[in-house]
Amino acid sequence: MKNRIMVAPMCMYSAESNPSSPFVRAFTDYHPAHLDHLALKGAGLVTIEATAAQENGRISPNDSGLWQDGVHSEQFKGLQRLVNFVHSQGAKVAIQLAGRKASTVAPWIAEQAGKRTLRADERSGGWLTNVAGPSGGDEHIWAPGDSFWPPRELSTTEVKDVIKAFANSAALTVKAGVDIVEIHGAHGYLVSEFLSPVTNQRTDRFGGSFENRTRIVRDCIQCSICDTYRGASIPSNQCNRMA
pLDDT tens string 109-122:
999 999 989 999 88
In CATH, the architecture of 6-233 is Alpha-Beta Barrel (3.20)
pLDDT tens-place string over residues 107-162: 999 999 999 899 998 888 888 888 999 999 988 887 777 888 899 999 999 999 99
> Is the pLDDT score of 57 beyond 70?
yes
State how far the Cα of 118 lies from the Cα of 104, in Å rounded to an integer.
6
What pLDDT sits at residue 102? Answer: 76
What pLDDT sits at residue 2? Answer: 95
Q: Which residues pair with 65 in a beta bridge?
A: 52
> Helix H segments across 59-209?
74-88, 107-112, 156-176, 190-195
Chain centroid to Cα 227, Å, comes to 21
State how far the Cα of 131 lies from the Cα of 128, in Å rounded to an integer.
6
> Is the pLDDT score of 233 beyond 70?
no
What pLDDT sits at residue 230? Answer: 55
Residue 223 pLDDT level (bands cut at 50, 70, 90): confident
> Is the pLDDT score of 229 beyond 60?
no
State how far the Cα of 203 lies from the Cα of 208, in Å rounded to an integer.
6
What pLDDT sits at residue 80? Answer: 97
pLDDT tens-place string over residues 41-55: 999 999 999 999 998
The answer to whether the CB of 97 falls within 8 A of the CB of 51 is yes
Query: Domain residues of the chain, as ranges?
Result: 6-233
Is the four-CA dihedral 188, 141, 53, 38 of positive or negative sign?
negative
Which of 175, 171, 180 lies closest to 46, judged by CA? 180
Mean pLDDT for the chain?
Answer: 89
Which of 85, 79, 77, 11 lies closest to 41, judged by CA? 85
